[in-house]
Chains A and B, each alone.
Chain A
Amino acid sequence: MPAPFDLSDDSVVVIIGTGAGGGVLANELAQKGIGVVALEAGGRYLPEDYVNDEWESFGQLAWLDPRTTSGDWRVAKDFSGLPAWIVKAVGGTTTHWAGASLRFQPHEWKAATTYGALEGANLLDWPIDDKELAPWYARAEEKMKVTRTGGRAGLPGSNNYKVFETGAKALGYEEVHTGRMAINSDWYDDRPPCQQTGFCFQGCKWGAKWSTAYTDIPAGEATGNLEVREKAHVLRIEHGPDGKANGVVYAAEDGTEHKQMARIVCVAGNSIESPRLLLNSASSIYPEGMANSSGQVGRNYMRHLTGSVYGIFDKPVKMWRGTTMAGVVQDEARHDPSRGFVGGFELETLSLGLPFMAAFLDPGAWGREFTTALDSYENMAGMWIVGEDMPQESNRVTLSDTKDQFGMPVANVHYSDHQNDRAMRDYAYKVGMAMYDAVGATRTLPTPPYPSTHNLGTNRMSANPQDGVVNKWGQTHDIANLFVSDGSQFTTGAAENPTLTIVALAIRQADHIAGAMSKNEV
């Protein structure tokens, strides 16, 4: 029973976005009896709506509003209007994500201290640490029913995993398993165990994978305290003469503009849209955009190192069968500068269907070298490299000259690799190829990064207000009732897939906001 709140109701918390950050925060606040209006730019799609077809699903779920790109990353050349593969729908990118749910390693909260000064890297320690986040991680894992945590079983290994595991063990790796996955390994919360269907990226038709679209959001709505407004595309945040946020202006599906008043505003539109929104909310009081006295809004954009390795064998693998990302090697995630770079990386199983493999294996390539690789599609195994990339001030989201359908400047995403990123990727390609060679690969393919799914860092958390945009609660340093609730809070990226940490931070933030509201601090 969605709770209808009046536009003039200034007692509500307005949350912009309903993905891992916004969707969880909305439910957690609603469970505590707090009125929440969640504004979602996309429509609502549920398991019965998802399609096992890569391009059709992409058209259904992906954020396809215009964006622009710059920098030396190859994505800017090959996919100049598509810097990121993320979702515009209720549930956000939790519909698309693969489910990998790894905690940060303790040292990764202290990247500046651990890695030391690195020229060109804008490293900073998080204002929170492993001990602080541990109980929130435990709550996130329980919420998401993460495998290999809380006594839950792991997922079974697919063909793609078995090739991956055989290669990893041949190289002497020890931390090799089918992952800690937010994909049910048994019946939990009336959701079935994984049916090994593939198409994890296209929305799980079984609902076995955790997504806010069919977990937290309906749970929040059932309390009567949460109203989700779909196809409500936020244009700007507004403030009163006191500088505090007082509401959010959005365009409804019919194009009409509305302003929802608010006691608190939480931004959770991901690391591209969240800084864009703060920058597009510039005013006479905040000429550089809201919460931007540090000048850090939009800066330090991170996307994880990424890259893939595919191996071709003389016999079939059929990598598309089964859970896409249920396989990980963690041995290389450690910090060990003797490898020629700081930080580390995870290796995770990956598969693309034939249509996306053609688009992403080597974008722009053609001729026999390319087509003979695809001819062996059935005999391919695949893995993804997820490594910590360095925050750089010049890698940033800015406002483009291009305007969207509402006349608002779109985001330009600028990214260039740091030398550390290149060194780590080259090393990771070598070990990935060696893994497949050890299983008898006849050909290996070091594949360039895809449009980003891990978008991080553009409103980063800092102890000192001059170094970042939000404090350790995700509360903006400048405006007490304006919070950031998504991956843009990340001070540094760590080597792990970010969703678990986003969810843990959102649960923790809900506790903090509820406490601050009850004490009338905001």
Chain B
Amino acid sequence: MTTTTAPRGLTRRQLLSRATAAGAFVCGAGFVAGRDAAWATEMTAMTPESFATLVQMARDIYPHDRIPDANYVTAVKGYDTPEEADATEAGIAALDRRATDLKGSRYLDIGWERDRAEVLRSMADDAFFEKIRAGLVTGLYNQKAVWPIFGYEGESYSQGGYIDRGFDDIAWL
């Protein structure tokens, strides 16, 4: 996938002018960027609108306020391929229909996570929801970049384990 620190061809001001209610900006012309301009990604097969909705859906399934959007983008970028795009677009379309039925607007325009989660709960037995959720278990949590956010230290053998690095350093008991 491609993430860059600033989307090409648009200034931060231009980005802000295209703000939508939640999550990502759709920057038109085949790419999508984060609200804070911290990430942007070119679209291969999905529409930018649908991909932005998918990123928001991913965050609403596994909401971690300290994980930036870029990691959710990484987690779902695999659906933006010629093989996956049609099914994913169909799933997002169904999500927007359900959002409209229950909340009167498309998914991305629902302001509160609580209300978006209600939409997701109503679809939790659908194959599309389960596919996205299950994919996130590895797609999100197996990104080494998110581990420090949880304090997890990962590999330790190359540093000699923890025998001299605090395996028993708990001090509050």
Contacts and interface: CB of A to CB of B under 8 A. Distances in A.
Interface in B87-130: 117, 120
Contacts of B154: 52-53, 353
Interface stretch (B12-20, B47-55, B136-144): B136-144
Contacts of A52: 154-158
A358 B153 CA distance: 15
Given A53-B155, A199-B156, A317-B170, A375 B62 contact: no
B173 interface: yes
B10 to A, nearest CB: 32
B75 to A, nearest CB: 12
A157 interface: yes
Interface of B is mostly: loop
Nearest to A367: B117
A375 B167 contact: no
B64 A55 contact: no
A316 interface: yes
Contact of A321 (B137, B155, B158, B162): B162
A318 B166 contact: yes
B80 to A, nearest CB: 22
B150 A198 contact: no
Given A52-B156, A366-B62, A355 B166 contact: no
Contact of A199 (B64, B157, B166): B157
B62 A370 contact: yes
B151 A355 contact: no
Nearest to B153: A320
Given A53-B155, A158-B168, A366-B133, A375 B150 contact: yes
A375 B147 CA distance: 11
Contact of B137 (A51, A199, A358): A358
A159 B170 contact: yes
Contacts of A55: 138, 142
Contacts of A198: 156, 161-162
Contact of A195 (B60, B155, B160, B166): B160
Contact of B152 (A359, A371, A378): A378
Given A196-B161, A196-B163, A367-B61, A439 B153 contact: no
Contacts of A157: 168
B161 to A, nearest CB: 3
Contact of A374 (B138, B150, B156, B170): B150
Looking at A205, A354, A375, A377, which has the most chain B CB atoms within 10 Å of its CB?
A354
A223 interface: no
A115 B147 CA distance: 47
- Count class of interface residues, chain A: 35 or more
B170 A162 contact: yes
Interface of A is mostly: loop
Interface string A199-213: 100000110000000
Contact of B147 (A163, A196, A322, A354): A354
Contact of A166 (B155, B163, B173): B173
A354 B141 contact: yes
Contact of B167 (A196, A364, A374, A377): A196
A43 interface: no
Interface in B11-55: none
B169 interface: yes
A52 B147 CA distance: 14
A51 B144 CA distance: 14
A353 B138 CA distance: 13
Interface string A349-386: 00001110011000010111011001101100000000
Interface residues of B, number: 36
Contacts of A374: 64, 141, 150
A366 B62 CA distance: 6
Nearest to A323: B167
Nearest to B62: A371
A371 B172 CA distance: 25
B63 A368 contact: yes
B173 A197 contact: no
A51 B152 CA distance: 16
Interface string A137-177: 00000000000000000001111001100100000000000
Interface string A61-85: 0000000000000000000000000
B162 A315 contact: no
A73 to B, nearest CB: 19
Contacts of B156: 52, 197-199, 321
A374 B168 CA distance: 22
Nearest to A51: B155
Contacts of B166: 159, 318, 321
B150 A322 contact: no
Contacts of A318: 151, 153, 166, 170
A422 to B, nearest CB: 26
B74 to A, nearest CB: 15
A187 B162 CA distance: 18
A178 B163 CA distance: 15
A353 B162 CA distance: 15
Contacts of B142: 55, 355
A321 B161 CA distance: 8
Nearest to B172: A315
A501 B167 CA distance: 30
Interface in A419-440: 439
Contacts of B141: 354-355, 358-359, 374
Given A55-B142, A358-B141, A197 B153 contact: no
B47 to A, nearest CB: 25
B131 interface: no
A355 B138 CA distance: 7
Given A52-B156, A55-B142, A353-B152, A375 B66 contact: yes
Top 8 nearest A-B pairs (CB, nearest first) are A378-B151, A197-B161, A195-B161, A322-B167, A358-B141, A52-B155, A196-B167, A354-B152
12 contacts: A52-B156, A158-B168, A194-B163, A195-B162, A196-B167, A198-B162, A353-B152, A354-B150, A355-B138, A367-B61, A367-B120, A371-B63
Interface of A: 51-53, 55, 156-159, 162-163, 166, 194-199, 205-206, 315-318, 320-322, 353-355, 358-359, 364, 366-368, 370-371, 374-375, 377-378, 439
